[in-house]
Structure 1
Amino acid sequence: MKRLLLYIGSYLLMGLLMIVLAVAMGFATFFEKYYGLEASWGLVYSAWWFNLLWLLLAINLVAALFTRARFARKRLGIFIFHLAFLIIITGAGITRFFGTAGLMHLREAEVRSNYMSEEPYLQVADSAGHVLFSSQDNFNPYSSNEFSEAIQTQAGVVELNLTRYIPNSVPVLIPDKQGVPVLKLVVATLNGRVNQLLALGEIIQVDGITIGYECAQVSDIVFKGADSLLTLTTSESVLMGSMPSSHGSDVVANTPSPVKLNTIYAGSKYQLVVTGIAAPSRVEYMPQGKSNAQTLEFRATFDGLLKTIYLNKTNELTDWTTINLGGQTLLMRYGPKEVKLPFSVVLNKFVLERYSGSESPSAYSSLIAISDESGGVFERSVAMNRVVDYHGYRFFQASYDTDEKGTILRVSNDFWGMTLTYLGYGLFMVGVIFMMISRRTKLYALLTSPSAKVGVILAFILMPAFSMAQELPVPDRDHAAKFGRLLVLSRDGRIHPLNTISGEITRKVTGQGTYGDLSSDQLVLAMTVFPDFYQAAPIIKLGNEELRNLLGVEKPLASFLNFFDSTTGGYKLQQQIAAINQKPPVSRTKMEKEILKVDERVNICYMIFTGGLLKLFPDANTGQWLSIEQGLGNGGDSTQAGRLLLEYFTALRFATSTGSYQNVDSTLNRFAVYQNSAAGSSFDGFPALEVLYNKIKPFERIIPIYGLAGFFLLILLFFQRSWRHAKLTSRILVGIVVAGFVVHTAGLGLRWIIAGHSPMSNGYESMLMVSWVALLAGLLLVRKMPTILGIAAILATATLFVAHLSWMDPEITNLVPVLKSKWLTLHVSFVMAGYAFFGLSAFLGFLSLLVIAIPKLYRRIEGDDFGRIQNVMQAGMIIGLYLFTVGTFLGAIWANESWGRYWGWDPKETWALITILVYVIITHLDNIPGFKNPIAVSFSSLVGFVTVLMTYFGVNYLLSGLHSYASGEAVRIPWGVYAGIGLVLVVWVAAIIGSRYSIFRKPSEVEK
């Protein structure tokens, strides 16, 4: 029994299970690209064998807890690690098999106590709507699709057998003398337009609208007769005409009316057109490549009668297919089922905010009221990153109706699955802390061994330069700097120097800190005073090539006018923006998110050109601040401030052409005096200090300081013994890191003084603090564990780099996107830090293989130096795994808090999990027989980094999904990728051959 338990909990079984899982998931992501998510879900993610593999892995972890990871004070970190993963897998299993989720569609003032499930169900009901049979089934082209069921009805037993699954289906009319007349219909509702075929004696439902043809059941629309005698009867009065009119009722309710072909019949919830009447035919469904419809073909048997039934997959609760079989009527549906709630929800109001002067949405929310049997009413607001929890259910904002009178909420009920998963995440993070500080771990042994001295890496980028392509009126730089000292109210309610806002605008719009030779103050001032010139200037960042092709722009910067049709004046992205905003954020692709970002940049430019963005006018009476547009409108130009600003703009236009700024400076000073007087006690900041802070950019400048110092510390690894100045150089580099830390501390102090509170109020500041604390810990422990300062430098560099990315893309408008979340900020920070360590390990792994492959190179490196390379490489992978896994878990929390789903098998998520599994295997290789040698570990570090590259780059360009830029076209893999793989394989083979000389013999023996 003990031997069996040891095998079940062995590293070998763990490695085999993880390899199979990683390969299966990798295959599924590529399979999804060509055949869709439902196909990959049916073939892999929901397959019994895939769930069995995870169960076996959980059993392996349980066995490990009783064998090699038993609870003990000395092994507490290892025990917490294994327990955390076991709890996470358990929580995921509960979510997978017991959690429920779906969508709730609400119109204003509508009350609902149900929602529709995400999973498809096959349901059969009687004519009264009582469900007789319900089964969750995910039919798809790549599963067996076997279904056979005996369903008990009031009239007897109906045998139902699935004979065919028809993907990409379209209805086809087959001429048949034994057939019946068939009507060709076009039905348009709030959810879109569909083409329908309605055979004699049948009933169809479209978004809750019931349409029948010579049927006994009561319907919203009933057709009778054929050909020229065809009549239409409706349950409400409808308008008839070539275009719907707002006057008159052409068809009276419950009164037969002759049907006119190709004429619109417009009811309160639908528009209907009869396009034709087919001769006696039968309707069959055939697969067609461009269709997304799915149809099930059943054979129904009752009392000796046999009937073929076609059932289309639907996304609406009200769409049932009526079946007449042996004198009884049945209703069938394949799609979401109704899930009851123990309370009711009413939509009081849907609120959609738009950019000033634009039709593009900037934010939206739903004001709901929840009432239960106790009689209590709870009013809440649901918005992006603002989740409403009630009695174990969670409500998330997903989408809204085009008329802005309705909302779509995502509802989930997964308390225990979410709680256990979050508990597992938390335990894992606690385990990371224990493993980092414990003296009885493999990581500690690697970092404190005599050969382990250094562990740092460079994270460095070069920003491309840009120069303007045309002459534009440019205000003087010194004068623009004075303009930047004016006060302005930002969107978060804080009063800043305008220099702070101008910097954010420039970074947001152009993607750079400056625009060519123009400072941010010059650019914003010029856009405000010379909008006619700068609307034609290429100032808007447009990095996506597909989007550039859509707009007809060749370069990565577009002008404001490029976004508008020169003939009609229409906004070129209007249709795309409207369609994207109808989709839940979880369903938006990377390309669609990029379009929304570009749309925000365009709207920011529009608000600057029209004076709607900069709030420069403080009202001493109300305490409110008005924009330039508001201050000069409604008679504002007659006030002292309005006259001053108009005088200033006029003088500036003249001064820009003459170069004389004396009068302009005087007018600007008078406006500044007015601001300070009107703002009064509402402003107690330090504008001069804030402008200085913006100018020196302390945190941007210390990124290369940390990075370069770390890089050269890494180079010193190979000269510790051979270069007599190595120790002195090492001390100098440590001093450089300390100098950077001093600048870092001073920058935080400046932010504290300027803001009036500790610099921990948002995601950007939290990353500044994380990097500062990491370096402080490294400096405090550097004597005890020299390598720790290098580790702290890597984490600080990666964290500051990610912080710089958010600094380059600041929030300026009232946009509240799903990406605005502290969880996302932390997720990206930890993941990027993990990437840095993985990159370091891959570099050292390649170096190790090169050293082994070339005997002369090995002879130049002392044994301790080679051991140092190996130790730092393995330590880097362990730390990278810790950070990357924590980052992935934080990303799952972000997704769950944003749209109610912490895992959805998106390719990006899947490859992140693959990366974790691969590095778990790699970091345990020395415990698996046959793999405890430098070649295996070094080569595995490169194999692991391939999964990192796939996660970071490959998913975006090679696969489909939410994080993908690909739109179905084949993406050519650069030749450099093949060359790199070939080089690694050549060096690997050479290392195997060279190992006879460099690994298993001492250097002195090789020289003989």
Structure 2
Amino acid sequence: MTLSRSLLALYVSIITIMAAATITEKYMGSYYVADTIYGSWWFAAMWALLAAAGVAYIVKRRVRRTSVLLLHGSFFVILLGALLTHISASQGTVRLRLGETTDTYVVSTKDGDIRHTLPFKLRLKSFDIHYHDGTKAAADYVTRLTVTDGDKTTEALVSMNNIFSYKSVRLYQMSYDPDMRGSVLSVNRDPWGIPVTYCGYALLFIAMAWMLIDPKGPYRRLLRSDIVRKGMMTFALLVATTFMAHGATTLPKETADKFGRLYVLYNNRVCPLQTLAIDFTKKLCGSASYGGYTAEQVLMGFVMWPDEWSREPLLRLKGGALRDRLQLPRHCAINTFFNDMMGGYIIGPYLNEYYNGHDDEFHRQVADVDARIQLVMDLRRGKLLKVFPYTVNGNTTWYAPTDIMPDSAVAPADRQYMQNVFSLIYQEALAGNMASVGNIADKMLRYQHKNGGSSLPSGMQTRAERLYNAVPFATILFMLNLGMGFATLFAVLWLMTRPTRRTLRGSMLMKIAVAVMLLSFAALTLCVALRWLIRGTAPMANGYETMLLMAWIIMAASLLLCRRFAIVLTFGFIMSGFFLLVSHISQMDPQITHIMPVLQSPLLSIHVSVIMTAFALLSLTFICGITALLLRAMRGSCAEVLAAQLAALRALSQLFYYPAMAALAVGIFVGAVWANVSWGAYWSWDAKEVWAMITFMVYAAAAHGTSLPMMRRPMPWHVFMVAAFATILMTYFGVNYFLGGMHSYA
């Protein structure tokens, strides 16, 4: 077997083993795969052989181009750093109790815990949790220590994303004791591996930048090629249930809207009551309104007239297993699930089966319905209506009318007001005095401003959230973008298969497409900006927000390139519409919440935005491939024309490919730096880390046209890009919804 074939076989084997390991981990556990695969001698040996074979191959081929040598050299240095970490590093935990001193830490192995000695002593002075004002959402975890080294004493502070280093020992905030009198720190000693690995990262960043600007590199040659300047001219011109209510009683729309302007503590965040009302209504019936009633009217209907609204058929049953087994309609009332003749709560026995391990589709649907019914029960008991703030000594607590309020915490007059105001609202509503009800809502808002302290959002944040609530951005934009995408795609394919090869330059469809893309991009930019303003941090903390970011990046790239490569506009519509559709219909939760303290790092913004940029660009190579396959299947053009079209699509695909690979490499290793700063381990073999590496390694094969001659031909290139896109789907969706792990979010 030749060196090139041996190298390819080893490369494919490592990718296959890593993919299999992530699936094995789901069923056998992290400790199992860490011990038998990732931490095994043979897995390390395979990487060493791959590095050695790569060096031998480069020497054999007499590669002299600086960018190529620097790029592959950076991977060699990173692997060397990983080897040094594997050999010399030590990672464990130290548990501290208030006032106690220790000079040891514990390393957990498969054979048990091993105690190691620190080169200094640690004494815990205090541990505190800092909360967002008026909530129980943690903003940071802070440990204060005294470090004693002989006669020298140093004061130290450790918090999330704030490590303390001393004598090559790094301390990270890991956990804490429930009684708040103890802190658990992660200890990392890696004096050799970290500097070598970081050196490799630096070389990688330089190499990726040089790859894009190297005058003799493939990307610059591509930009200068005739197929880009002339072949693309062929394409630059080618683009161009609500339900009726049964008369349930509720407040008038204008009056209910006044209650929607109140503030409430919801999801550990102070927000307009309108936000709670919309989430409540969506969870029940899948829409932000019901039978012509606004979300505020639905919420206040359940608050004021719960018996009537419990008879309304607004609970949408999503799946068929539950409906088929219990013979239920698609839309049910809450009362449907309570029947004394059938034993009370009719899904109660099935719910118990679910908690005892029955995890099939039917029982999951039972659990989902129960969660929504319990939401209604919590509202009826007043638990959701934490609308009464009370500030003492600068600390604000939000109360619901049914909460237990200690005499020492709340003044008698305020307690009486909180407990009785909803009864007064109900009396006025029964009497038809809606003006009085509105006045009470206005007084409640003034009470909140008087007693809310610093926990209330600013006026700008409130206006931003109400605007965000008013417009279903994802729903509108996915329909608009997908509609335009398929309309222009069909037009492109039809014209490309015509003998006359007519174009759309200057046509009305082209002008409309550009205008719609600009409008859609502006709307999505507003959506992202509103989420950023509402929460105060970059909107990239969950699956929903990263889907929006992916769509935004794709549209931005499309607008930047559409004047030169008009077909990009079609690709941009389709892929951005796809990501917006996924955010709309999937299990992702669009609710805005405070992010975890560990995510409050500038490195997170860089890591996520760069990775999403890479995925967005690679998704456009996927669309290029799909278009090529469709053209090949239709065969409307002569062989020469088809060949030119496939080659032009390959050139366009490569324009996306090289920046995407640079962004993906940088994003992965910025994430590693962030992990090292936050947790003390730059690579933990988490499922998403592994699949991101698999994605990079799979796509990297396409850059080796010299070693893989088929990649120099248009059709194999397009087929490979279509197939490789499966790794992105697995990295993003497969990990989130199947494999899990600490990077799993939705």
TM-score normalized with structure 1 length: 0.55
Quote the residue 1:50 is aligned against.
Answer: 43
**Deviation (angstroms), 1:375:** 3.5
Q: Which amino acid aligns with 1:913?
A: M
Q: Secondary structure of 1:904's match?
A: coil
Q: Which amino acid aligns with 1:920?
A: A
In structure 2, C-alpha distance between the alignment counterparts of 1:708 and 1:833, rounded to whole Å: 24
Q: Which amino acid aligns with 2:441?
A: L
Q: Is the 8 A contact 1:87 1:420 kept in 2?
A: yes
Q: Is the 8 A contact 2:266 2:384 kept in 1?
A: no
Quote the residue 2:94 is aligned against.
Answer: 104
The range that moved more, 683-692 or 604-613, is 604-613
In structure 2, C-alpha distance between the alignment counterparts of 1:440 and 1:705, rounded to whole Å: 42
Q: Which amino acid aligns with 1:919?
A: Y
Q: Does 1:514 align with 2:507?
A: no
* 1:700-737, Cα deviation, whole Å (9 max, x unpaired): 64455455445545445432563444652233212221
Q: Secondary structure of 2:438's match?
A: helix
* 1:209-253, Cα deviation, whole Å (9 max, x unpaired): xxxxxxxxxxxxxxxxxxxxxxxxxxxxxxxxxxxxxxxxxxxxx
* 1:511-544, Cα deviation, whole Å (9 max, x unpaired): 9662655644345545655678889999999999
Of 614, 617, 627 in structure 1, the residue corresponding to residue 386 of structure 2 is 614
Q: For 1:461-860, list aligned pairs within 5 A.
A: 474-487=250-263, 497-500=272-275, 502-503=277-278, 514=288, 516-517=290-291, 519-526=294-301, 606=378, 609-610=381-382, 614-617=386-389, 626-629=398-401, 633=405, 639=413, 643=417, 646-647=420-421, 649-652=423-426, 655=429, 661-673=434-446, 685-686=459-460, 691-697=466-472, 701-718=476-493, 719=495, 722-725=501-504, 727-728=506-507, 729-744=509-524, 779=559, 782-783=562-563, 808-812=589-593, 816=596, 831=611, 834-835=614-615, 837-842=617-622, 844-845=624-625, 848=628, 852=632
Q: Secondary structure of 2:187's match?
A: strand
Q: Is the 8 A contact 1:892 1:902 kept in 2?
A: yes
Q: Secondary structure of 1:376's match?
A: strand
TM-score normalized with structure 2 length: 0.71
**Deviation (angstroms), 1:101:** 0.8
Q: Which runs of 5+ in 1 are unaligned?
A: 1-6, 121-333, 459-464, 578-591, 966-1008
Quote the residue 2:340 is aligned against.
Answer: none
Q: Does 1:395 align with 2:165?
A: no
Q: Is the 8 A contact 2:474 2:581 kept in 1?
A: no
Q: Is the 8 A contact 2:141 2:159 kept in 1?
A: yes
* 1:802-830, Cα deviation, whole Å (9 max, x unpaired): 988999443547x8476776666665555
> Which one has the bigger helix percentage?
2
In structure 2, C-alpha distance between the alignment counterparts of 1:855 and 1:790, rounded to whole Å: 20
Q: Which amino acid aligns with 2:399?
A: S
Q: Is the 8 A contact 1:527 1:608 kept in 2?
A: yes
* 1:355-402, Cα deviation, whole Å (9 max, x unpaired): 99x9x998995735241215424353545x665554443334545567
In structure 1, C-alpha distance between the alignment counterparts of 2:243 and 2:102, rounded to whole Å: 58
Over 3 Å counting, the alpha-carbon distance change for 1:759 and 1:364 in structure 2 is closer
Q: Is the 8 A contact 2:546 2:612 kept in 1?
A: no
Q: Is the 8 A contact 1:26 1:914 kept in 2?
A: yes
In structure 1, C-alpha distance between the alignment counterparts of 2:373 and 2:157, rounded to whole Å: 31
Q: Which amino acid aligns with 1:54?
A: W
Q: Which amino acid aligns with 1:696?
A: V
Q: For 1:267-306, list aligned pairs within 5 A.
A: none
Q: Is the 8 A contact 2:222 2:651 kept in 1?
A: yes
Q: Does 1:412 align with 2:405?
A: no
* 1:824-843, Cα deviation, whole Å (9 max, x unpaired): 66655555555555555445
In structure 1, C-alpha distance between the alignment counterparts of 2:70 and 2:231, rounded to whole Å: 29
Q: Secondary structure of 1:104's match?
A: strand
Q: Is the 8 A contact 1:396 1:410 kept in 2?
A: yes
Q: Secondary structure of 1:372's match?
A: strand
**Deviation (angstroms), 1:340:** 1.4
In structure 1, C-alpha distance between the alignment counterparts of 2:492 and 2:502, rounded to whole Å: 11
Quote the residue 1:342 is aligned against.
Answer: 119
Q: Does 1:867 align with 2:647?
A: yes
Q: Which amino acid aligns with 2:693?
A: L
**Deviation (angstroms), 1:916:** 2.0
In structure 2, C-alpha distance between the alignment counterparts of 1:412 and 1:525, rounded to whole Å: 54
Of 17, 21, 25 in structure 1, the residue corresponding to residue 14 of structure 2 is 21
Quote the residue 1:324 is aligned against.
Answer: none
**Deviation (angstroms), 1:117:** 1.8
* 1:321-376, Cα deviation, whole Å (9 max, x unpaired): xxxxxxxxxxxxx43322211222334566689999x9x99899573524121542
Q: Secondary structure of 1:115's match?
A: strand
In structure 1, C-alpha distance between the alignment counterparts of 2:538 and 2:698, rounded to whole Å: 35
Over 3 Å counting, the alpha-carbon distance change for 1:723 and 1:928 in structure 2 is same
Tell which structure's C-alpha radius of gyration is larger: 1
Quote the residue 1:945 is aligned against.
Answer: 725
Q: Is the 8 A contact 2:94 2:105 kept in 1?
A: yes
Q: Which runs of 5+ in 2 are unaligned?
A: 338-343, 357-363
Q: Does 1:910 align with 2:698?
A: no
Q: For 1:203-214, list aligned pairs within 5 A.
A: none
**Deviation (angstroms), 1:790:** 7.0
The range that moved more, 471-480 or 769-778, is 769-778
Same amino acid, percent of matched pairs: 26
Q: Which amino acid aligns with 2:78?
A: I
Q: Which amino acid aligns with 1:57?
A: L
> Structure with the greater relative contact order (CA < 8 A, sep ≥ 6): 1 or 2?
2
Q: Does 1:94 align with 2:84?
A: yes
> Which one has the bigger strand percentage?
1
Equivalences, count? 699
- TM-align CA RMSD: 6.0
Q: Is the 8 A contact 1:841 1:877 kept in 2?
A: yes
Quote the residue 1:129 is aligned against.
Answer: none
* 1:865-916, Cα deviation, whole Å (9 max, x unpaired): 2323333445555455445444444554554455433333344433332222
Q: Secondary structure of 1:85's match?
A: helix
* 1:146-199, Cα deviation, whole Å (9 max, x unpaired): xxxxxxxxxxxxxxxxxxxxxxxxxxxxxxxxxxxxxxxxxxxxxxxxxxxxxx
Of 919, 923, 928 in structure 1, the residue corresponding to residue 703 of structure 2 is 923
Quote the residue 1:281 is aligned against.
Answer: none
Q: Secondary structure of 2:501's match?
A: coil
In structure 1, C-alpha distance between the alignment counterparts of 2:730 and 2:621, rounded to whole Å: 17
Over 3 Å counting, the alpha-carbon distance change for 1:468 and 1:389 in structure 2 is farther
In structure 2, C-alpha distance between the alignment counterparts of 1:96 and 1:601, rounded to whole Å: 51
Q: Secondary structure of 1:810's match?
A: coil
Quote the residue 1:220 is aligned against.
Answer: none
